[in-house]
Structure 1
Amino acid sequence: MAVGVYKRGVVIGIVVGWGNLNGVVSSNIYISTESPRFWTGHGTVLAYLIVCLLGGTIFMHVMLRMENARRLSGKRDNMHEGMTRDQIWVAGDNRPDFIYVT
């Protein structure tokens, strides 16, 4: 079984768990006395979205550029010592010649 299946499973678990946790948060920031505008709730969610989307995008861009630099300099080539050509080919994003798009 490929490693990608495990990565996908872990990420799905994190996303579902984080979504459930945000349900708890939203029940506390949407105050019934602020109905129908809910300034506190909408403002908190908007700020949260901006911080997470912008911060996550910058973080992923920086980390992928660093990983690409390691791969291009040959620092990741030792991961495949002792593996056959076919094993390296099916390694997916762990192949030494795989470069992320940034």
Structure 2
Amino acid sequence: MKKKIVISMLSSLMVFLPLTSSAAKKIDSIQSIQTAANQACSGNPDKSGCERLVWITAKVAMMNTSFYLQSCSNKEKIAKENKASCDEAERLLSKINSTK
């Protein structure tokens, strides 16, 4: 049951985050993410848990971007031990960038 709720929350998040990106031009990032959380978690019996998941997802995206910029942005200097992690970070950034 919990797995279904998490999948549902993630699906809702993927739908509502892009919708709020246009709103981000008018409001700050915190308000944009909170708006996405409110929309994605509306009607969820565990609204606080759902909102927490939205913020954790934003944190993961932020950490991924930071790692990518520090360790992967110069393709010629990627350390061998970071190759797989850089490939994964790049896939996530590409997915986020291609979401409309």
Relative to its length, the structure with more helix (as a share) is 2
Per the normalisation by structure 2, the TM-score is: 0.34
TM-score (normalised: structure 1): 0.34
